[in-house]
Structure 1
Amino acid sequence: MPPAAIRSEPSIVRRFGWPLAGAMLVAQLALAGCTTGSGVDRATTGSVGKPMTAADFQQAVSYWGGRYAKDPANKQNALNYAAALRRVGNTDQAVAVLQKAAIRFSTDREVLAAYGKALAANGQFEQALDAVRRAQTPDQPDWRLLSAEGAILDQLGQSNDARALYQKALAIQPNDPTVLSNLGISYVLTSQLPDAEKVLRVAVAQPGADSRVRQNLALVVGLQGRFAEAQQIARTELSPQQAEENIAYLQAMLARQKQGTQPTRTTSQPMPAIQNAG
């Protein structure tokens, strides 16, 4: 039985390096086990299944990679292969696959949207913005693309414009947890942690809120120094050891930030990443 089609991950995920002096260091870290592709995914039918493991994603890469090799002109092969590649961290390869698809399907909204999200995940924000905007239809805007565009603008430091897009998306799709999560992280990036927590608590209470949304809440709680509470939230998504390691890393980072130095990360501690869901 072939693996389920991997939904193109809606989050705009970027692995951050250490920011320049004066930037909000702690706002750029999340409590996620990034090397394992953590987070609940759903099949394209929208049914809720068990969380997919790293082995599941590798199986999907092999399966869809084989399908793509046999028929690279098939749109679904390209989309599913690229989505699987992104889930195992091969964003460069995912971008290359979708770049070819975008040339072949130059007016296809689904392909352009996936291409834009892959570019953003790879840190190519200006190109991502162009692709997402080309996929959008102003007369009938897609709320998912509005949210994706907002997440890209947040990464470019345009928080006011980003939040305006999130509000437009929420007007179309009220209380969507992924859009609310993006809005919450937008507040994190401008050091407005109480506002971020308020929005993210609304997000996690919504039907359909997934692992990424709860991880973002754990991030915000931890950034405010409430480590025990953050660890409790993180443990609902990660193993106790992973949760403890991530909280310990966050605590060390906050302490080192005060000293103007960087925490030492062990090989078992993945460099966290912001996960803007939506």
Structure 2
Amino acid sequence: MTILSNAHTHTTYCDGKNSAEEMVEAAIARGFQCLGFSCHGYTPFDESYCLTPGATGRYIREIRALQEKYRGTIDIVLGTEWDYYGQIDREDYDYIIGSVHYIQSPLTGKFYTVDSTPEELDECLEVGFHGNVMAMLTTYYNAVADMAVNGRPDILGHFDLIRKLNSDGRFFDEESPAYLHIAVTALEKAVKSGVVIEVNTGGVYRGYRSTPYPADTLLRTIRRLGGRVIVSSDAHDTESLGFQFDETEERLRRIGFTEVQVMTKDGLRAQKL
């Protein structure tokens, strides 16, 4: 493994399974040089998975303390994963991952999680969009593009997360021209914004998909457009840190990438593949 950092890391402060220090120790054991923490920022209408206002301060203080405790052993960087509909004070963090986890129905105003259960996504489609799958996909990808362009995060998280529950094509055909037009239009805007696009192995680790986000078709588009990528494992437990990094490096080489971005204590920098 040549990528020795992970920028997308969760803990028990949000929906992770391990404490921040347990994640640090696991990263050290795997030979990582840098670990970026990115607990989910506060989302007002859904506190089930994210930092609450009270926990946010504790999270920031602990990560800053761990930076000092492990200085000289591993570089630790404080970030957050900011949802499109969430609230953060970006000045509190060294970097921001911008992600879209929800679709808001234009008919009812209700928010639906795109990566929770097939039943919820089915309700989103049938109730929130009256069965119009292309309208649902357009709403999702418009939010992703807007996050990249106007949210200005350092990293754009799991670009096509809406594919998570669609491995059997239950909701839409991922190779259809109509779907790809919507996704690629958003991707073109994201690349033009200059944001680094995450190649995320978390869906593979958790058994939902066989390949990372974004799909290979979209990765080839990023390559063609000259976009920048970063590999992450979207780690929610110690075992997932660095999951399939070697395989993902090889996948990116085959597609034509010659470098990736990696997290360092001084920010993102390019590393040759």
Say whether the fold is shared (TM-score over 0.5): no
* TM-score, L = length of structure 2: 0.33
* Greater relative CO, 1 or 2 (CA 8 Å, sep 6+): 1
Structure with the higher helix share, 1 or 2:
1
* TM-score, L = length of structure 1: 0.33
Structure with the higher strand share, 1 or 2:
2
